[in-house]
Amino acid sequence: MGVSKWEDFTFPGSPIKRQIGLDMTEHKIVTRSWQPNINECLEQNEKEYNATVDGPFNRNGPDGWTKVASIPLWLLEQWRLEEGIDFYRFNEEDKAKLMKKLNDRDYLKLRTAKGNL
């Protein structure tokens, strides 16, 4: 029989869409989540990356931080599950692994600022 009906329970402002349903066959509650518009995220990253040094994206923010990347949440989750890189724990080992990925040309579309991290 499967899930009877999916109900939205996305958190306001979250890029992750979430739904919950009741699996009548298994007699359990199930959830699913996804992040739509990945291409929009990558296109925005490219715009920010290509902005000039005087552009709004390559300056230090008022708190002294500089945005250097925008990583889709599903990719952070995939890296956590497959490679053990836990962005939320973010200890020195995780930080080094994440910086290595962001410095890799294969992940250039995640970057929003130039330079080596």
Residues 54, 4 share a domain? no
Residues 65, 28 share a domain? no
User: How many domains does one find in the chain?
Assistant: 2
Q: Which domain holds residue 7?
A: 1-34
Handedness of CA 52, 117, 45, 60 (dihedral sign): negative
pLDDT by residue, tens only, the chain of 117 residues? 588 789 998 877 666 788 999 998 888 999 988 877 788 888 888 988 888 565 444 556 666 677 888 898 878 888 988 899 988 888 999 999 999 999 999 999 999 888 888
**Could you tell me the pTM of the whole model?**
0.64
**C-alpha distances in angstroms, 92 versus 29, 88, 95, 98, 102?**
37, 12, 5, 10, 15
Residues 16, 62 share a domain? no
Is 116 within a domain?
Answer: no
